[in-house]
Chains A and B, each alone.
Chain A
């Protein structure tokens, strides 16, 4: 972690999990002034039809708040729950739904990082006098004197690296952000947690989409519409092959994602995959595995992180989903500076609109954009 002035005041984003609890404990050990804060992002009492069990054990559950509060209390850290429900709904949940209905597969975590955690939370932290925010993300931030920019690099623990969700961070956000776990491997974090007396028992790692119980986003979207009193015009469409032959009926493109094999609604002689969706026609196109391969993609709303915008083609490794080994590619600028064309050295499977393409040079996050 970078050098900080000894009287730095740091707001720690505490989720109640081991990672952020350990961040709080280690910064306390190092003598910094701290405030612990838990973001209340979603009211788990909403959409009760989606949760058969009690509203605990998920993001923003009371259990998480109790855990975070208990850890803050153990270490003598002032602790607050801050309410960002409205910002989260407007800038994460609604775009998430819109994306699905438009036939894309969104990443709410990136939206949350861009618009809540590193925006509203950072603003709140600065407002109460904090110099920095610290989170439990596995990523590294450092200042590059040569380029004059803040650099974002992968966490040392490649298996836990979370930079795929952090490519939207701006320079002024990185300047005020600490990722104390970026230099550590998860097992070492657990050891440190035990050494510092952080309770580590039985905490599950957080899920990818914290506000969608059981990952059933289609049920979530339909329940959300019902809650808003809005008619959910149940879309109907057809599953078609690449020649356009109808193979089955389906209940809306939001049930499908590129690369999906199960739940297509019919049995086929050979494995078939979703290779594309079209919200306008409500068509879901399926094909054989090799038809999922794409040699290039266009990334829009590109944000350059560790480097300034590119003007010439340059090599990079590009990740097209969180669990994807970055693939060698060439980044080509287009006439529109917010759009980059990515040409892969080898075709990649299941390039999915709505996911992010994140550009790396080794460990360094060059930038990223949304796959069109």
Chain B
């Protein structure tokens, strides 16, 4: 029996999504581009889902492009915007705490002749809008700042930055992969031009995502082929994945606010239980507004990797840092960008809550953390025994 506390990595399928996906896999095998009724049935599913996603984001359905997930959405936003008319000489402003899907796309446009400014964040892990303003140049054509950070849950001042972008006449992309479903993701209120989301963070399967592209914003497609998704994303639609995303968007529309409050209560219960019982623990991004479900804690004298393994062996899934290609843990670039030392970053653990968690699980997790930290500290050569 595993209690799952790693919902910022991915989530289990909800019952509603599982029902929806099973039905679509069985019944809607048609190609949405086909003329016949099997194709039409699949098309119905895709467009129904587009409507649900648009509704969740307060967008128009024609502004939703389905993709293979968060990485493709971020790639399409950054590469698609910068490459249109050639990347050379263009300038992009982003932050040091973005997801690798944005950072990797930025590194690629640099290879293609663009310039990128990576903004530092303060100790709370929040980017300062004034720094965005100061980074603007005449050649700046895109700002990309995530809505909420996956490691710390720190919510970024997206609405404020979008005003800066609008005033400067610069496109604004926000990676909303962690924020959607946890915060109100109203693209009108946020003022974004491009907004990424991913299905598998929202109790739907891997392999589906979406990019909101504000009407009038032009992107150069990444893929070449058929004229799918208004020629913005070639390739036969992942009908079950898209239907699942639509289903989960519909569910979120109904339950998000209540569920966020419930998760905030559980998260606070977890944090206060650990902080009360374990000395030498700090909350990362304590000074920021955080996602209700995310808690990043730093345990003095602990290797986060060892704590993750100990908790897994005890039946609790949590995470630490970023996994490299081998699966070994490297210190989180987000925590390093916030000014933590490598030791502090390695000593940090992320707990991210979701649908299946309840008070019993949270209390069991807190007990396991208390026990595991005590054992690890007893062996730790660096921890000063209080």
> Does B124 sit at the interface, judged by CB under 8 A?
no
Given the complex of chains A and B, what is the CA–CA distance between A35 and B305 in angstroms?
14
Given A62-B326, A81-B327, also A128-B309 (CB < 8 A): yes
> Does B379 sit at the interface, judged by CB under 8 A?
yes
> Does B328 sit at the interface, judged by CB under 8 A?
yes
Given the complex of chains A and B, what is the CA–CA distance between A129 and B328 in angstroms?
19
Given A124-B303, A129-B375, also A35-B327 (CB < 8 A): no
Instruction: Tell me the dominant secondary structure on chain A's binding face.
Output: mixed
Given A123-B379, A127-B375, also A35-B328 (CB < 8 A): no
Q: Mark B323-344, 1 if CB is under 8 A from A, else 0.
A: 0111111100000000000000
Within residues 38 to 52 of chain B, which ones have a CB less than 8 A from any CB in chain A?
none
Contacts of A83 in B (CB 8 A): 305, 328-330
A-B contact pairs, 7 of them (CB 8 A): A65-B327, A80-B309, A80-B312, A81-B328, A127-B306, A128-B306, A128-B310
Interface size range of chain A in the complex: 10 to 19
Given A40-B328, A60-B326, A62-B325, also A35-B313 (CB < 8 A): yes
> Does A73 sit at the interface, judged by CB under 8 A?
no
> Does A126 sit at the interface, judged by CB under 8 A?
yes
Given the complex of chains A and B, what is the CA–CA distance between A38 and B329 in angstroms?
12
Contacts of A81 in B (CB 8 A): 326-329
> Does A78 sit at the interface, judged by CB under 8 A?
yes
Known: A81-B329, A83-B328, A127-B303. 9 other contacts (CB 8 A): A35-B309, A35-B313, A62-B325, A123-B379, A124-B305, A127-B306, A127-B376, A128-B310, A129-B313
Within residues 238 to 257 of chain A, which ones have a CB less than 8 A from any CB in chain B?
none
> Does A117 sit at the interface, judged by CB under 8 A?
no
Chain A residue at smallest Cβ distance from B306: A127
Interface size range of chain B in the complex: 20 to 34
Q: How far is the CB of B378 from chain A (nearest CB, A)?
A: 9
Q: How far is the CB of B69 from chain A (nearest CB, A)?
A: 23
Given the complex of chains A and B, what is the CA–CA distance between A310 and B327 in angstroms?
46
Given the complex of chains A and B, what is the CA–CA distance between A347 and B100 in angstroms?
61
Within residues 2 to 51 of chain A, which ones have a CB less than 8 A from any CB in chain B?
35, 38, 40
Q: How far is the CB of B363 from chain A (nearest CB, A)?
A: 21
Contacts of B312 in A (CB 8 A): 78, 80
> Does A82 sit at the interface, judged by CB under 8 A?
yes
Given the complex of chains A and B, what is the CA–CA distance between A62 and B325 in angstroms?
8
> Does A140 sit at the interface, judged by CB under 8 A?
no
Evaluate contact between B329 and A128: CB separation under 8 angstroms. Answer: no
Within residues 101 to 151 of chain A, which ones have a CB less than 8 A from any CB in chain B?
123-124, 126-129
